Amino acid sequence: MKLKSCAFLLMLASFLTQTSKAQNCDPWIVQIYKELYNATPTAKECDIKNYNNGSWNSYNELKGYIKQYKTFGTGQKINLTWQYTPSEVTGDQWITQIYKEEYGRKPNAWEYNIQNYNEGHWRTYDELKNLIRQYQSSVASAGMFLDLYDLGNGRFVVDLKINGKSVAVSMIEGRGGNVVASGGANVVAAGGGNVVASGGANVVASGGGNVIAPGGGNLVINPNVQGFRPGSIYRIQSGANRTIKTTGRGGIIIR
């Protein structure tokens, strides 16, 4: 009887310890660990000083620090080793206005690429608005997410994820979102000293978030990964192994 009582007390103590950890942990940290790793953070992982010394301005910013902490063992903000100036992002004024009306924000560089919207063909403002709505709905339905890495030279590296998995990478201009390099090897070649090849399996070794300034002086790219660009899904795409319909006759071509 005493042995059973001792075992019960040990189990109760363990439960109370875990409950105490959860109660003392920042709710966003708990939620992000559940979302990213389907796990409860340990007492050490709950220490907010792991993540930019406990300083963040948004949920996504904290998520980036946690990803960085789990990947590289540090969640402190990485200082850039080259002079970094945020790239200018501009494009069609109708696109700008519609994104502000519909989503309360400015479009990112990729969203400024007119090829995303029926290959750049529309006649009226309302027609373009419907195409943008259709594009965003198609992207969400396909489980697509785009991480944009600002190189500070007017260009962005775009990491295409589908259902959370990186599948392709391209480089685009900040002005108009035009694709200037597609595929890991081409992105590395176009990036000069700011983008380097990686021997690992990942498309991009990164922190998190949607628009990111790469840290440590280099953005690490797998040169063997495929590229992607917007285009017609009805034309024969040489070497394409996947197309994702977005609007009208257009879509995302992965090859």
The verdict on 237 and 125 lying in the same domain is yes
**Domains of the chain: total:** 2
pLDDT at 190: 78
Statement to judge: residues 101 and 55 lie in one domain: no
- Domain containing residue 15: 2-72
Are 23 and 105 part of one and the same domain?
A: no
Average pLDDT over all residues of the chain: 77
Q: What's the CA gap between 185 and 64, in Å, rounded?
A: 26
Percent of the chain whose pLDDT exceeds 90: 32
197-251 pLDDT, tens digit per residue, is 444 334 544 433 344 444 434 566 777 888 999 988 776 555 557 888 999 888 9
Extract the tokens encoding 157: 């590296």
**Is 82 inside any structural domain?**
no
Confirm whether 77 is domain-assigned.
no
